[in-house]
Structure 1
Amino acid sequence: MSRQFCGKLFSKAVTFADYGRPQEVLRVTDRAIAPLSPTGVRVRILAAPINPSDINQIEGVYPARPTFEPNVGAVAGNEGLAEVVALGEQVAQRSPNSDGAGLQVGDWVLPFRRSFGTWQTLASVEASQVVKIPKFTNVSPLAAATLTVNPSTAYRMLKDFVTLRPGDYVIQTAANSSVGRAVIQLCKAWGIRTINIVRDRDNLDQLVHELTELGATLVLTDGQLREASVRAQLKELNGPVALGLDCCGGKVSTEVARVLSHGAPLVLYGAMSKKPLTFPVSLFIFKDIQVRGYWMTRWYGQQDHETRLTMWTELLKLIDQGALQSPSFHVIPWLVPPVANADDVNGSLQTKIQDALRDYSAGFTNKKFILAMDPKLLTEKLSG
């Protein structure tokens, strides 16, 4: 959904001029698209998910800051899939072997930088700010739109801190999260076993079944992990617990650290409990555990196109082969019913997005919330 007025193109964008609660500061506006530069591309956003980092950025508590434009503010959204719709003159003339070359109209691209502003319909950017990804038969646009945060975080944490070998164990908290489910599936594909910690709940048997179907080796509640008998059983596993992944903090982090094998790293990538970490000194002295932090945005800031593309291509191949399932999606259609004027369109879309953000914050569904700008996506299979 975009429009042209007096020769200018406009993108319909979700913006914020000040930091604050998303329901209070977000507005749907018509944002003028910059003219296409010789080294630029114009892209049409197909779909963009809602992630916790998006909310934190709007609230002003996320380290990565967006760019605020006069009279518009910042465009929300960090992750998403776009399609190239126009090429700058120099981009179109590049040879296949030149830097950033190979872009054509119709290509799928992912943002190269964080704070891209994916919650909009159109954008003009430098060609260096997007990365072309290959298309696979069994990879939907919705799956590709959610590639750069959760699956990529799982991939990097499994690759970057220790050399895992088939038969090793990885222990993780919040195993039912999007990252946790990706960890389970990647480990299964690579011959690595997983110990998966979840919070106790009414539908625990159903959740255990779901995670086991994905490839989980063991599924335990955080309460069970505190039991001496369970920890004793884990000490008798026929393989090292070579890596720990934790996004909770608090007491469960301590219990996970106790299970780790000698010298194993515990990687922290979140703090859902908002509780501090407390580790016995003995774990450092006698087990030589390592406590590390991981932030996907920092990794992206240190890598080039080729390194990112290598990872994304491997993940796309796994999705295409069925070894890595897409999450179940809660799709928010960008289109609104016909209304009288542009202001009414913006108001209707703004209300729809604010309602979706309220439901997202309240946790009304376990599905991945995603904005679908392309109406064709509404007829696709919406779950993996």
Structure 2
Amino acid sequence: MQRAAARALRGARTLPVRARSAGTGPPPRGLLYERHGEPPAVVQLKDLEVAELGDSDVHVKMLAAPINPADINMIQGTWRTRGVFPQETLLKVPSDIPVPCAATLSVNPCTAFRMLADFESLAPGDSVIQNAANSGVGQAVIQIAKASGIKTINVVRDRADLPKLVERLMALGADHVVTEEMLRKPEMKDIFKSIPKPRLALNCVGGKSTTEMLRHLQPKGTMVTYGGMAKQPVMVPVSAFIFRDVRLRGFWMSQWRKDHAQGEPRLRRDGMDRDSVTSMMDALFQLIRRGQLSAPACTQVPLQDYKAALENSMKPFTSSKQILLL
């Protein structure tokens, strides 16, 4: 089996088991929880049983899995070392794709890819502005945009190690890195002497950050919201609608997959339009092979140290995604 093993599994509970006939050796282990709460307190590492293999099932060994903000916010995923799944629900990851890239591919890079492709027809030389640029999605946006000749203006929160963060994002291909405070300053005009104002804004913060970022969007431009890290509403001046006709949209990768469901349900239990998903993944694989897309800055953590990984993933100003080595 190729490195499809790096795919993270989600589901609030483990399915009832039928038999341990899908493999030999020690039983697989998984991170489970029985009640909602702070992840380090409620998540436990336990032995699991493996479901019985059906005629079209595949026994998958997991190599690595990222801890995403959605996992922390909702505790709707469990991480496990092995499982059995219908083959039509799986996508093969080529063996030349590094494990950290494979482990993080299905969420952050896919989100970045779709937002850059689906809301504005961007051409080389166009620009995009985004907040939380140091996030996993933000890092993928920088790299995918760079490969397409699209300029990026990247907004981050001020912090003690800001110069180091700016250097890292510039090394990924960022054209400009500014703090949220800089968005409000006249110096922002200097940026637009060399590149056009953005036609697309990507927001996963909300609150004042969104309002200030919106001011730099071109008339008839689009802002896509895919998160709300500030836990504050998106506030838009009426003038932005009346005089500049900006468009506000939303995006959720899970919903995109549901919206692209096609085919006979009996044959397509994954609910995904295979052609759309496959073409997107192939494009991302090519970027990885060409060295134009890497995994986000990450810390690889052995599964038994999951509590430390969960705690670190919830720290403020974190710039390193925790990846559980399964």
TM-score by length of 1: 0.72
Deviation, structure 1 residue 146: 0.8
Q: Which runs of 4+ in 1 moved over 3 A?
A: 5-10, 231-238
Distance 1:293 1:365 in 2: 24
Give 2:287's match in structure 1, choosing from 318, 334, 348: 318
**Residue number among 22, 39, 60 corresponding to 2:56 in the alignment:** 39
Distance in 1 between residues matched to 2:207 and 2:135, nearest whole Å: 18
| Range with bigger deviation, 198-207 or 288-297 | 198-207
Among candidates 80, 98, 102, match of residue 120 of structure 1: 80
Q: Give the match's secondary structure for 1:120.
A: coil
Residues 135 and 157 of structure 1, relative CA distance in 2, 3 Å threshold: same
- On the 8 A contact 1:133/1:309 being kept in 2, the answer is no
Question: Aligned partner of 1:360: which letter?
Answer: S
User: What is the percentage of aligned positions where both structures have the same residue?
Assistant: 41
1:35 and 1:235 map into 2 onto residues whose CA distance is: 60
The question of 1:16 aligning with 2:33 is answered yes
Amino acid at match of 2:315: A
Residue 272 of structure 1, aligned match among 192, 204, 229 = 229
Partner of 2:310: 357
Alpha-carbon RMSD across the aligned residues, in angstroms, is 2.0
| Distance (Å, rounded) in 2 between the aligned partners of 1:39 and 1:314 | 28
* Paired position in structure 1 for 2:67: 50
> How much has 1:233 moved relative to structure 2?
3.5
Shift of 1:297: 1.0
One-letter identity of the residue aligned with 1:195: I
Quote the offset at 1:125 in angstroms: 1.4
Aligned pairs for 1:273-312 (under 5 A) are 273-303=230-260, 304-312=273-281
Point out where structure 2 has 5 or more consecutive residues left out of the alignment.
1-18, 261-272
**Aligned partners of 2:139, 2:222: CA distance in 1, in Å?**
20
SS in 1 for 2:63: strand
Partner of 1:156: 114
Cα drift, residue 225 of structure 1: 0.7
In 1, the alpha carbon distance for the partners of 2:20 and 2:324 equals: 29
Question: Are 1:259 and 2:216 an aligned pair?
Answer: yes
Cα distance in structure 2, aligned partners of 1:307 and 1:143: 20
Equivalent of residue 169 in structure 2, options 211, 217, 231: 211
> Does 1:175 find its partner at 2:133?
yes
Deviation at 1:133, TM superposition (A): 2.7
Q: 1:7 and 1:37, CA in 2 relative to 1: closer, same or farther beyond 3 A?
A: closer
Preserved contact between residue 127 and residue 195 of structure 2 (Cα < 8 Å): no
The aligned amino acid for 1:324 is L
Deviates more, 1:357-366 or 1:33-42: 357-366
1:202-254 CA distances to partner (integer Å, 9 max, x unpaired)? Answer: 22222222222221111111111111x13443555542411000111011111
Which residue of structure 1 lines up, in the alignment, with residue 299 of structure 2? Answer: 330
Residue 25 (str. 1) matches residue 42 (str. 2):
yes
The residue that corresponds to 2:16 in the other structure is none
Report whether the alignment pairs 1:130 with 2:90.
Answer: yes
Structure 1's unaligned 5+ residue stretches are 59-65, 67-75, 78-118, 335-348, 374-384
Q: Does the 8 Å contact 2:139/2:172 carry over to 1?
A: yes
For 1:45-84, list aligned pairs within 5 A. Answer: 45-58=62-75, 76-77=77-78
Q: Specify which of 185, 188, 193 is matched with residue 146 of structure 2.
A: 188
C-alpha displacement of 1:368: 1.8
Q: Which has the larger radius of gyration?
A: 1
* 1:246-296 residue CA offsets vs partner (Å, 9 max, x unmatched): 111011111111111011100111111111222111100111000111111
Distance 1:311 1:7 in 2: 35
Deviation digits for residues 101-158 of structure 1 (CA, Å, limit 9, x no counterpart): xxxxxxxxxxxxxxxxxx112111111221123333xx21221111011111111100
SS of the aligned residue for 1:209 comes to helix
CA contact (8 A) 1:268 1:292 kept: yes
Report the residue type matching 2:55 in the other structure: P
8 Å Cα contact 1:235/1:259 also seen in 2? no
Structure-2 separation of matches of 1:41 and 1:315: 24
Q: Separation in 2 of the partners of 1:6 and 1:152?
A: 34
Using the TM superposition, give the Cα deviation of residue 163 of structure 1 relative to its aligned residue in structure 2, in angstroms. 0.4
Helix, strand or coil at the partner of 1:132 = coil
Secondary structure in 1 matching 2:322:
strand
Task: Find the partner of 2:181 among 214, 217, 223.
Answer: 223
Matched residue count? 293
Matched, 1:243 2:260: no
Pair 1:317–1:121, CA change in 2 (3 A): same
Contact 2:112–2:137, Cα closer than 8 Å, also in 1: yes
Alpha-carbon spacing, 1:258–1:365, altered in 2? closer, same or farther (3 Å):
closer
How far apart in 2 are the matches of 1:193 and 1:7? 52
Return closer, same or farther for 1:294/1:7 CA change in 2, 3 Å cut-off.
closer
Distance 1:32 1:367 in 2: 32
CA deviation string 1:153-210 (max 9, x = no partner)? 1111000101001111101111111211111111111011111111112222222222
Contact 1:234 1:259 in 2 (8 A): no
The CA distance in 1 between the partners of 2:48 and 2:108, in whole Å, is: 29
